[in-house]
Amino acid sequence: MHGFSTRPGGKTMVYNPDEGAGELNLGFTTADSRETVLANRTLFLSAVTQNAIRPLVTLKQIHSAIVRVVSRADAGDEALHKGDGMMTDEPGILLGIQTADCIPVLIAGRKRRAVAAFHAGWRGTLKRIVENGIGRMRLEFGSRPEDLIAAIGPGIGACCYAVGEEVRMEFESQFSYAPELFSEVYDSNPIKEKYPLLFLTARAPGHSNIGPALHLDLVEANRRQLLDAGLSADNIFIQGDCTSCHRDRFFSHRADHGFTGRSLSVIGIRK
């Protein structure tokens, strides 16, 4: 059982007060009340599993490569452990990853009946959290990569994820295919297109802040890690929506300028 949450459909009013409709914030943020978040989680878990009282395990996410094996003892409203990946072979519990642009990756083992969930921002992706996490599944549960299915959920797309040159340098130091993950994008600017002389610069080439932005494809980066871990391309499913492009459907830290809620991606094993 698994699911990716959306922005509409909840009881939160603080992030979209003028629209009148509630939103499904599933993270304990400072702006939203604890009671509202718990009510939203009940709505979401009911939609995913038809049972709102299923134990939910979450983590204090820190953009790390830490992966934990969890059980029912780790479940509760509050996260007990720090980390950005978790796995279990215990039926009846849900693993939940919170995001607001970062990439959620869910893994299910069809034969060994183990599941995993990963939070992959650029730092976690650079540290190979998904690739190493699957190695941990092999060690802990005997999972074979050819038996695993992966789902990459909604996250910020290459269309919107501008990063600095230092990020490209870090990726190039770790991945031979790093050049394929980056692209140069010129932002559309109607004023610049109409009055190009206003944007001329006297700076030497390479020293002007006018030019293409460097964009990173985190979805493709994590798909490549899944392939390198041994998964079949046919067993990797990509939801594909960009959270920044679709603010009406998803929370986006970048598009909302830091004041936003959290989505939840969950996976578990039915009893």
Q: What is the mean pLDDT of the chain?
A: 92
Q: Please say if the pLDDT value at position 39 is more than 70.
A: yes
Q: Please say if the pLDDT value at position 95 is more than 90.
A: yes
Residues 29 and 79 in one domain: yes
pLDDT digits (tens, 9 = 90+) for 4-36: 999 999 999 999 877 778 999 999 999 999 999
Q: Give residue 56's identity as a one-letter amino acid code.
A: L
Residues 25 and 136 in one domain: yes
In a domain, 180, yes or no: yes
In a domain, 69, yes or no: yes
Which has more confidence, 227 or 210? 227
Residues 18 and 102 in one domain: yes
CATH number at residue 245: 3.60.140.10
Q: What pTM did the predictor assign?
A: 0.90
pLDDT digits (tens, 9 = 90+) for 176-187: 999 999 999 886
Number of domains in the chain: 2
pLDDT band at 194 (very low <50, low <70, confident <90, very high): low
**What is the reported pLDDT for 106?**
98
Residues 257 and 192 in one domain: no
**What is the reported pLDDT for 190?**
54
Which has more confidence, 156 or 209? 156
Residues 139 and 177 in one domain: no
In a domain, 225, yes or no: no
Residues 195 and 96 in one domain: no
Residues 92 and 178 in one domain: no
**What is the reported pLDDT for 45?**
95
Residues 78 and 188 in one domain: no
Mean pLDDT for the stretch of residues 228-243? 98
**What is the reported pLDDT for 208?**
45
**What is the reported pLDDT for 234?**
98
Domain hosting 186: range is 162-216
Q: Please say if the pLDDT value at position 94 is more than 60.
A: yes
Mean pLDDT for the stretch of residues 97-125? 97
**What is the reported pLDDT for 25?**
98
**What is the reported pLDDT for 53?**
75
**What is the reported pLDDT for 206?**
43
Mean pLDDT for the stretch of residues 54-83? 96
Among 19-23, 60-64, 245-249, 266-270, whose mean pLDDT is lowest? 19-23
**What is the reported pLDDT for 16?**
86
Mean pLDDT for the stretch of residues 99-110? 97
The DSSP string of the chain is: -EEE--SEEEEE-SSSTTT-S-E---S--SSS-HHHHHHHHHHHHHHHHS-TTS-EE--B--SS--EEE--GGG-SSS--SB-SEEEE--TT-EEEEEESSSEEEEEEETTT--EEEEEE-HHHHHTTHHHHHHHHHHHHH---GGGEEEEE--B--TTT-EE-HHHHHHHHTT-TTGGGGEEEEPPP-HHHHH-GGGG---SPTT--S-SPEEEE-HHHHHHHHHHHTT--GGGEEE---BTTT-TTTS--TTTTTT----EEEEEE---
